[in-house]
């Protein structure tokens, strides 16, 4: 059984969805949730699902090997970024080549990069009068949102959609596709 660690910064709905999915399969288990935000909702979601959850600071993440050593001690097979807002450090990326994936709320390469997350993405999509948007699941590299694309799914944008309506459509795509895409990746690890 593969061992997954999820990194998240916020509410944690994607993390919860992944935990529930893998609790019902024999393919993998989410062993840990890690966050850079000690007040993140994901901590309570993980606790309610009996998954260990810890927060860390920028020193442990970027300046030392504390987080990396934790991942190794945990025998981590796959790292999933689910609403994690910090740039991933190169020393962890190099230790887990092609074993760190992210979900992005747009059809990359459009609307990616530093500062492009959540409502910022949806506002940019609206401002540019896009006809569709979607999600991208991709490998993590040293640059924001530039890793190899694993999967994309799209949805139409209606004339009366606002950022909240787009966010709801994106959320639905994430809930539907993210666990399935991760499942399909597991045999390749």
Q: How far apart are CA 83 and CA 104, in angstroms?
A: 8
SS3 17: helix
If one counts every other C-beta atom within 10 angstroms of the C-beta of residue 136, the result is 23
- Provide DSSP, 146-184: -SPEEEEEEEE--TT--HHHHHHHHHHHHHHHHHHHHHH
Q: How far apart are CA 18 and CA 176, in angstroms?
A: 10
Q: Provide the 8-state DSSP code for 186.
A: G
Catalytic residue among 21, 91, 104, 120: 104
Q: Are 139 and 147 in contact (CB under 8 A)?
A: yes
Active site residue 91: no
If one counts every other C-beta atom within 10 angstroms of the C-beta of residue 135, the result is 25
Active-site residue numbers?
104
């Amino acid at each position: 059984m593969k061992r997954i660690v999820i990194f998240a910064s916020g509410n944690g709905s994607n993390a919860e969805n992944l935990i529930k999915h893998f609790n019902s399969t024999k393919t993998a288990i989410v062993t840990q949730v890690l966050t850079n935000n000690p007040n993140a909702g994901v901590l309570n979601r993980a606790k309610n699902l009996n998954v260990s959850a810890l927060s860390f600071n920028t020193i442990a993440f970027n300046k030392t090997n504390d987080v990396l050593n934790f991942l190794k001690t945990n025998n981590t097979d796959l790292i999933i970024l689910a609403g994690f807002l910090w740039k991933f450090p190169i020393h962890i990326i190099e230790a887990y080549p092609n074993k760190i994936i992210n979900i992005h709320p747009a059809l990359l390469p459009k609307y990616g990069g530093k500062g492009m997350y959540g409502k910022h993405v949806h506002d940019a999509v609206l401002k540019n009068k896009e006809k569709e948007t979607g999600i991208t699941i991709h490998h993590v590299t040293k640059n924001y949102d530039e890793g190899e694309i694993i999967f994309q799914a799209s949805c139409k944008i209606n004339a009366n959609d606002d950022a909240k309506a787009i966010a709801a459509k994106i959320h639905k795509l994430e809930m539907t596709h993210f666990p399935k895409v991760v499942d399909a990746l597991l045999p390749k690890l």
